[in-house]
Amino acid sequence: MANNEQTFIMIKPDGVARGLVGEVIKRFEQKGYYLRALKMMNVPKELAEEHYVDLSSKPFYKGLVNYIVSGPVVATVWEGKGVVVTGRKLVGATNPLASEPGSIRGDFCIDVGRNVIHGSDAVESAKREIGLWFPEGLADNKPELKWVYES
């Protein structure tokens, strides 16, 4: 597995409002992942609709889109070995009541509709989401990875 796998993690409006941005960043950094991009933004409705297009036939789609545009989010890209799968473990199950203690949702959430965070579910969806949220591309800065990975 390559050390340069990337994932998209979004801290949703409830996570931003509750002051959990630093906690989310801390957990990913402590795990050893590298923050490649970060921006706080108000989400245009068109971007929210495109991001959740795979859920557009679900009855909760309109409410989800309206929720994501209701306040600022923090969009991030993380890089490292196995970051998509491990990132999902750090995030926790979509339903916070089914999330393990120690995961972000397991520690900070109760309701599905206020589950603090989004994480890409596969390498392909991560690539699509990163392209949507960071059309300008990522900064070309790399950390000294010898402190994270064996040679």
- 26 marked ligand binding residue: no
Catalytic, 51? Answer no
Is 60 annotated to bind a ligand? Reply is: yes
Does the annotation place 88 within a ligand binding site? yes
CB under 8 Å to 145, separation ≥6 — which residues?
3, 34
Q: Any binding-site annotation on 3?
A: no
Catalytic residue among 117, 118, 120, 129: 118
Say if residue 12 carries a ligand binding annotation.
Answer: yes
Any idea which residue has 């599905």 for tokens? 112
Is residue 128 part of an annotated ligand binding site?
no
b/e 97-136 (16+ beta carbons within 10 angstroms → b):
eebeeebbbbbbbeeeebbbbbbbbeeeebebbbeebbee
* SS3 of residue 11 by DSSP: strand
Q: Which residues are catalytic?
A: 118
Q: Which residues are annotated as a binding site?
A: 12, 60, 88, 94, 105, 115
Q: Which residues are annotated as a binding site for ATP?
A: 12, 60, 88, 94, 105, 115
